[in-house]
Chains A and B, each alone.
Chain A
Amino acid sequence: MKIERNVLIAVVVVALLLGAVLRDQYVLHVAVMVLFYAVLASSLNLLVGYVGEFSLGHTAFLGMGAYTAALCATHFGWPMWLTLPAGGIVAGITGLVVGAITLRLQGPFFVIVTLAFAEVLRLTAMNWIALTNGPMGLAGIAQPAWLAGAGITEAKLFYYYVAVLLLAVTVYLSYRLVYSNAGRAAVAVRENRYVAQSIGIRPLTYALLALGLGAFLTGMAGGFYAHYISFVGPEVFGFPFMLSMIIMVLVGGKGTLLGPLLGALLVTFLEESLREAKELRLSIFGAAVMAVVLFMPRGLMGFLLRRREQRAEAVASIARPESVA
């Protein structure tokens, strides 16, 4: 618990310090994407890793956040520090409404319903042309005014710091949730629904809490994405984003706070370095995910934790004979 907290703080501090060093536009862009994906993966992990329900519809919240922020910015001229929370809140409410209906289902049923929900939203965004401009998307989302005078590097740097802030908020809220009575209740639901109920936990409450918080954070990330790319189209609801999130959570290690951050870092770098491989990229990814699921079912963090446990056990088994005697 202490170690995890210190490492999380270190991650945010290092991210802040990196901002003082990074000046290359391409590197900054990759860094922003790492942070963006770290927020997405962390928020998906709240549900997948701590409540144990697998959502394939997390892009629904990403899209809701992105479109909300884009519409608020273009129609009402809201500044970014308002559109991001607005995107988060709309996505969070969507999450609670969807969750109140779908979280009564478990396992594969829940997976299918969430997938369908994201797809319905994608089709809506495609076809409700009056609101969303259809497949053409919403372009020209306003940047903060002072950025117009600044250079491209400064603009990227600005978004980098916003992303660090977003990650800090995500890490703080996730940490608080996981190491609280509510977080323990969520884990109890994941581990054993019957035991959870027999000690007074209502499973739906904590599944909703994790989904609502995850949706809120994802929505903020969506709003951030809309401003950063300055464009939102129906593809924010699409499956590729979902795929990236899942791979990051699984590779990094679900059910740990550090895992998704590690996953986001690794997968984004891998994606960038495999650009030359083109079509082969997805196949390589597929193989990588299968390898992780088969050989490290708890992801990289799980693998590391396991090694620490094994060492502790070895120490304990040496100590035990004395305590028996």
Chain B
Amino acid sequence: MSFLEVRGMSKSFGGNHAVRDISFDVADGEIVGLIGPNGAGKTTCFNLITGFYAPDAGRVRFRDEDVTALKPYQMARKGIVRSFQKTNILKSLTVFENVLTGQYLAAKQPLWRTFFPGRSVVKAEADARERAEEIVRTMGLGARINAPASLLACGELRLLEVALALAARPAILMLDEPAAGLNSQEAKRFGDVLTTLPGGWVRSVLLVEHNMGLVMDVCDRVVVMNFGEKLAEGEPAHVQADPRVIEAYLGSGVTAAA
């Protein structure tokens, strides 16, 4: 049984085939990297899986349930939670408030309870606060817990983004270029945190990333895209040596010159 299953997914904008016939799986407990040159269709793929775009063709199955083209908030309720390529957090709130807000689904109560809270609400709120603190610490933001998000450094912002996604208790966490803007040391630390997630905070991770060092370190499997199509798939070391992948990244001129 496959955890997340993408089959034959396609999407075009006008005449431009952004994603064409993409299929891949993410197994339970796996960290899968989705890589490819700029414009290969990785983010479009993310948007299709999480319901921000509706696919022209193809299916998405999650835990043996067809979740194709559900609304983004419905996807989140199924356990598919994503981060965004351009930093997306709740800017005017503090780090703690961001993560607290992220626990919306877990802390949800019947509507009338909003105005007449009882013991169950008090408990849910206390739980959410405790868990928010735990997540902030896990992501290494403990020292900045009460800082306004607008004052965070770039590296801290990326960590907060992951923390916010984690707060929604995803089964599969989908991160779109989480290490963009991190220096190599920060990226290393980020990778260390990432590898601890499956089996604990989440079941699986699907990762779009340009930092190849990070991808090779943390991913169990890699899917390579180019011009909207799947180019290769396999273990990081194996894919890295694939001449088609090298050609996609560096161009064929390298081989000709050699």
Decide if A and B are genuine partners: yes
Residues of A near any B CB (own CB < 8 A)? 173, 176-177, 180-185, 187-188, 191-192, 194-203, 209, 309, 313, 316, 323
Name the CB-closest residue of B to A172. B115
B100 touches which of A184, A197, A309 (Cβ 8 Å)? A184
A-B interface, 6 closest residue pairs, ranked by CB to CB distance from nearest: A200-B76, A197-B72, A191-B90, A199-B168, A200-B105, A181-B107
Interface majority SS (helix, strand, loop, mixed), chain A: helix
Task: Give Cα distance in the complex from A251 to B131, angstroms.
Answer: 37
Please determine whether B73 and A200 come into contact, CB atoms closer than 8 angstroms. yes
**A202 to B76 alpha-carbon distance, docked (Å):** 10
Q: B77, B104, B148, B151 — which one has the most chain A CB atoms within 10 A of its CB?
A: B104
Are the C-beta atoms of B111 and A209 separated by less than 8 Å?
yes
Contact with A along B57-93 (1 / 0, CB 8 A): 0000000000000011100110001111000111111
Q: B114–A177 contact, CB under 8 A?
A: yes
Contact of B101 among A176, A187, A316 (CB under 8 A): A187
Q: Across the interface, which residues of B come within 8 angstroms of A177, CB to CB?
A: 114-115
A199 interface neighbour in B93, B104, B117, Cβ under 8 Å: B104
CB distance from A193 to the nearest CB of B (A): 10
The interface of chain B, by Cβ under 8 A from chain A, is 50, 52, 71-73, 76-77, 81-84, 88-93, 97, 100-102, 104-105, 107-109, 111, 114-117, 121, 124-125, 128, 143, 147-148, 151, 164-165, 167-168
Is A187 a contact of B117 with CB atoms below 8 Å? no
A-B pairs with beta carbons under 8 Å apart, 25 shown: A176-B114, A176-B115, A176-B117, A177-B115, A181-B104, A181-B114, A181-B125, A182-B114, A185-B101, A187-B90, A188-B90, A195-B84, A195-B88, A196-B73, A197-B52, A198-B72, A198-B76, A198-B81, A198-B82, A198-B84, A199-B101, A199-B105, A201-B73, A201-B76, A323-B143
Flag if B90 contacts A192 (CB, 8 Å). yes
A197, B71: Cβ atoms closer than 8 Å: yes
A180 and B111 alpha carbons, distance in the complex (Å):
10
Q: A198 contacts B104, CB within 8 Å?
A: no
A313 — which chain B residues lie within 8 A by C-beta?
151
Find out whether the CB atom of B90 lies under 8 angstroms from the CB atom of A181.
no
Answer whether A200 and B117 are a contact pair too, CB < 8 Å, given A181-B104, A184-B101, A309-B148.
no
Contact (A195, B89) CB under 8 Å given A182-B114, A184-B104: yes
Measured between beta carbons, the chain A residues less than 8 angstroms from B115 are: 173, 176-177
List the A residue with the shortest CB-CB distance to B86: A194
Taking CB atoms, residues of chain B closer than 8 Å to A192 are 88-91
In angstroms, Cα B208 to Cα A191, docked, is 25
- A191 with B168, Cβ < 8 A, contacts A177-B115, A197-B73, A202-B73 known: no
CB distance from A37 to the nearest CB of B (A): 23
**Contact at B71–A202, with CB atoms within 8 Å?**
yes
B114 and A194 form a contact (CB under 8 A): no
Closest residue on chain B to residue A309 by CB atoms: B148
Beta-carbon contact of A199 and B76 below 8 Å: yes
A191 and B81 contact, CB distance less than 8 A:
no
Q: Report the minimum CB–CB distance from B196 to chain A (whole Å).
A: 21
> In whole angstroms, how far apart are the Cα atoms of A184 and B143 in the complex?
23
Inter-chain CA distance A192–B76, complex, in Å, is 16
In the complex, what residue of chain B is closest to A181 when comparing beta carbons?
B107
Given contacts A197-B73, A198-B82, 6 further A-B contacts (CB under 8 A): A181-B109, A184-B101, A194-B72, A196-B73, A198-B165, A199-B102
Which residues on A sit within 8 Å (CB–CB) of B50? 198
Do B88 and A187 have beta carbons less than 8 Å apart?
Answer: no
CB distance from B118 to the nearest CB of A (A): 12
Q: A176-B114, A184-B100 are in contact. Are A200 and B90 (CB under 8 A)?
A: no
User: Which single member of A185, A309, A316 contacts B104 (CB below 8 Å)?
Assistant: A185
